[in-house]
A and B are shown apart, each in its own frame.
Chain A
Amino acid sequence: MRLRVGMLEDLADGAGTKVEDGETRIAVFRIGDDLYAIGDRCSHAEASLAEGELFGTEVECPRHGSEFDVTTGKPGSFPATQPVPTYEIEVTDGEVFVIATEDGA
């Protein structure tokens, strides 16, 4: 399944954007010219990681402060211990899509 995120120029640098389709929730982060997509639900308490703050490539969960590496989906600090899935991104003519497979790429 291919979900539209938006136009690349509209995605703020250093911030997350949430895309949803039914149960699937994906957070897309833009860091300079790079884009990363990971599961939006924090693996600890399901808060939205897209609303978190980015420090380098680590996003800080807004609810309990776990950090996840947006390049790998792995948690770097408590309380989360499980990784979140990562997803592939496609950019076509400045339009950003995320490939939403069942359990990530």
Chain B
Amino acid sequence: MLPLDEGAVERLAAGSPDWVSEKRAEGFKLYQKLDMPDPRAEEWRYVELNFDIAEFMVPEGPGDPLAADTELDGSFVDMAGRAVVIDGHCVDITSDGGPTFVSTRTAIADHAEVAQRVIGRGIAPDLDRFSAAHHAFGSDGVFLHVPANTTADAPYYIDVQATTPGTITFPRISILVEDNADAAVVVHYRSPEGSILVVPQIEADVAGRLSLTAVQEWGPQTTGISQLRMTAERDASLHLGEVGLGGVLARLHLTMELNGRGSTGKVSGLYFGDSEQVLDYRAFMNHRAPNTNSDMFLKGAVEDDADSVFTGLIRIEPEAQRVNAYQTNRNLVLSDGAEAQSVPNLEILANDVKCGHASTVGPLDEEQRYYLMSRGLERKRADRLQVRGFFEEALKRLPTQALAAPVRERVNAKYIAAQEEGRV
């Protein structure tokens, strides 16, 4: 294991081409300069970080793999490709041919020209100390290039695991979808028990259509600081599906850049926190071109002492006229000790737009409970139906519908466990 210092940077940089090493050096410089984020900064409001990145070590190789999650990956009839990333190292990757689906290392070595267009360009190293560290100490991940006019019929499945306690790892996924091409990607985040810090970055440049679904099931002591940036060119469409279930602190910093005229960005998702989990969502939807559309839709629940945070910003640049933009965030607070924060923001610099937001935080509806009980349902069952119905709307919007059934089951299981143990 390597401490996060210059020696680690040199070791990781050995044998890389210049453009990769330069990015790494830039990241390291920023890593030395930037402090841990402060909850007084708007982007980190409500979240206290009681650790420093430097307390963790970088593993030199991948740890032991976790058992396959057959319920989730078995829900796909077909996969266009499958990759396993452990502790930031791509240990296994296969695909049925067609688009380039390889490890980041292979992409840098064998597909240099196209790799250089995407890898390391998505999330700026100066975003925060986590991103700087990612650029400095990241080692490997997955690269997907879908050339123009290509359609991948089935989703690509990427199993991202962080398995070694005491470590910090930096898996990276880079995606390039060219003009009039289609792809669907499912990323599954997993880790065992034990104190683990993982900082994944996903960068996607899209001129065609991309749907990406992240199912986040980090272990109970894992901190996952996830950073995701997607850009859309002319008439492109982006759809992010987000399922947040695990982690002691799980954060997603999401940016969608609608750069091309007529492009569309959608976010659909759900999250459910229990015990002392903190689920933290920061979503930025940037409209930079005319006739762009966006729709953000996230539903969450918290029970026990869990906290959730959603802050969403729709920003509409002056040149982005005739834009439709909407964001919705609804939260159920199921226990007295749980808290949900919901902060939607609009920043509109154009004058011919349709833009709106909806945000709610509240307990289960007494009237619905009364109605259901008047129909002969016992109280616990009535409440289960309400929770189920609440999430159903979000499940129906997930871009890869094969995931809806296993995700539904996991969400319900969380609530039922709490009911049976008398926590809600």
Contacts and interface: CB of A to CB of B under 8 A. Distances in A.
Binding between chains A and B: yes
Interface of A: 10, 12, 15, 51, 53, 60, 62, 64-65, 67, 77-79
A77 B376 contact: yes
Interface stretch (B165-173, B314-322, B382-390): B382-390
29 contacts: A10-B70, A10-B74, A12-B71, A15-B409, A51-B405, A51-B408, A53-B384, A53-B412, A53-B416, A60-B381, A60-B384, A62-B388, A64-B385, A65-B372, A65-B377, A65-B381, A65-B382, A65-B384, A65-B385, A67-B381, A77-B376, A77-B377, A77-B378, A77-B381, A78-B375, A78-B376, A78-B377, A79-B375, A79-B376
Contacts of A64: 385
B297 to A, nearest CB: 21
Nearest to A48: B405
A83 B163 CA distance: 48
Interface string B355-389: 00000000000000000100111100110110010
Contacts of A51: 405, 408
Contacts of B71: 12
A64 B416 CA distance: 16
A99 B388 CA distance: 32
Nearest to B409: A15
A64 B388 CA distance: 10
Interface residues of B, number: 18
B282 to A, nearest CB: 33
Contacts of A79: 375-376
Contacts, number: 29
A65 B377 CA distance: 7
A31 to B, nearest CB: 15
Q: Can you list the 4 inter-chain pairs with the closest CB atoms, starting with the nearest?
A: A78-B376, A65-B381, A65-B385, A65-B377
A69 B71 CA distance: 25
A16 to B, nearest CB: 10
A77 B381 CA distance: 11
Contacts of B385: 64-65
A64 B377 CA distance: 9
B155 to A, nearest CB: 20
A60 B387 CA distance: 14
Nearest to B405: A51
Which of B376, B378, B381, B409 has the most chain A CB atoms closer than 10 A to its own CB? B381
Nearest to B74: A10
A83 B374 CA distance: 22
Contacts of B377: 65, 77-78
B285 to A, nearest CB: 32
Nearest to B392: A62
A75 to B, nearest CB: 11
Nearest to A15: B409
Contacts of B372: 65
B324 to A, nearest CB: 33
Nearest to B372: A65
Contacts of A65: 372, 377, 381-382, 384-385
Given A53-B416, A77-B376, 13 more contacts: A10-B70, A10-B74, A12-B71, A51-B405, A62-B388, A64-B385, A65-B381, A65-B382, A65-B385, A77-B377, A77-B381, A78-B377, A79-B375
